[in-house]
Structure 1
Amino acid sequence: MTRRTQTMRHVSQLADDSADTAMQELAHKQQALTEGEAQLAELHLFQREYQHGAERGVHSMSELLNRQQFLQRINDAIGFQQRLVEQLREAVVVQRQVWLQARNRAKALGGVAQHLQADDDRADERKEQRDADERSLRQNSKKHWDQA
């Protein structure tokens, strides 16, 4: 294996490692998005349940104000979580592009490394054939001189 091929194999391996890292990061971001969406769904469910419970009746003005303030806090939490989920979605899209680019680069470099290895293999085969031809020629020459 030539130094050029060894170097390209090393570069190809580094690109593979980079693609693997990008894929793991994508998985982490996708997991965070899934968890964020689940939290948002829980907040919506809690909001509906609380509103349903609040419809049963209010006994005082302070109770009404407390319920309204609590509902506002729930709505604020939902708004925050919606913004967070949107940011997570965008991060997943960006990371997916990073991963695809890293994967494509790794594939391209892997192809170059394979091509260089094939070139080295062909060069080795040609050298072996040349050496075998030279040995055969020497043996035939020696036999010819021995017979003469």
Structure 2
Amino acid sequence: MKRAKRLEPVQHIVDEAQKRLAMSVAAFEKRLLDGEKKLEELVRYKAEYEQGFQQRAAGGIGVMEMRDYQAFLARLAEAIKQQEALVNRARAEHEAERVKWQEALKRSKALGHVVERWQAEERHVTERREQRESDERAQRKTPRP
């Protein structure tokens, strides 16, 4: 069996691993984007709620209502803090997975280049052998004086 042919199963395995990592990167990216979207929604909601609180406070509100507003704002701030932590973790996981995928892609391309080079060498050897055989046949057919 030729060298390039022996490497084909290895190349297939490496290519499949690279494809799986690419899909994993996409899943991590989706998780990151979803987390960022949720964070943006929380921040926007908190800003709207604070604006509503300021408008109501300008018109005068009771102590209990003010405490409820402050408690809810504190819970929103905590939710934002937790969501920021989730987004940061998702960003780190996405980056780590992207790095693994890039390394797998490099390995896949390098192996592909080796296989291509070996195939080219094998074609060259085959062409030289065929040319040599053709030359030998041509010499046998020509009459000798």
- TM-score with structure 2 setting the length: 0.88
2:27 alignment counterpart: 28
Q: Match for 2:81 among 79, 90, 95?
A: 79
Name the CA distance, whole Å, in 2 between partners of 1:14 and 1:113.
14
Q: Which runs of 5+ in 1 are unaligned?
A: none
Name the CA distance, whole Å, in 1 between partners of 2:12 and 2:96.
24
Q: Counterparts of 1:89-108 in structure 2 under 5 Å?
A: 89-108=91-110
Name the CA distance, whole Å, in 1 between partners of 2:34 and 2:26.
12
**Cα-Cα RMSD:** 1.7
Q: Match for 1:109 among 90, 111, 115?
A: 111
Q: Which runs of 5+ in 2 are unaligned?
A: none
Structure 1 residue 20 displacement after superposition? 2.0
Structure 1 residue 101 displacement after superposition? 0.5
Name the CA distance, whole Å, in 1 between partners of 2:77 and 2:89.
18
Aligned residues: 142
Structure 1 residue 78 displacement after superposition? 0.3
2:46 alignment counterpart: 47
Cα deviations by residue, 1:34-59 (Å, 9 ceiling, x for unpaired):
11111111101111111111121364
Cα deviations by residue, 1:66-124 (Å, 9 ceiling, x for unpaired):
22221121111101100001001111211121111011111100000001101110111
Q: Match for 1:128 among 102, 127, 130?
A: 130
Compare 46-55 and 59-68 and name the one that shifted more.
59-68
- TM-score with structure 1 setting the length: 0.86
Name the CA distance, whole Å, in 2 between partners of 1:60 and 1:18.
63
Does 2:61 align with 1:62? no
Instruction: Work out the percentage of aligned pairs sharing the same amino acid.
Output: 32
Name the CA distance, whole Å, in 2 between partners of 1:6 and 1:75.
60
Q: Which has the larger radius of gyration?
A: 1
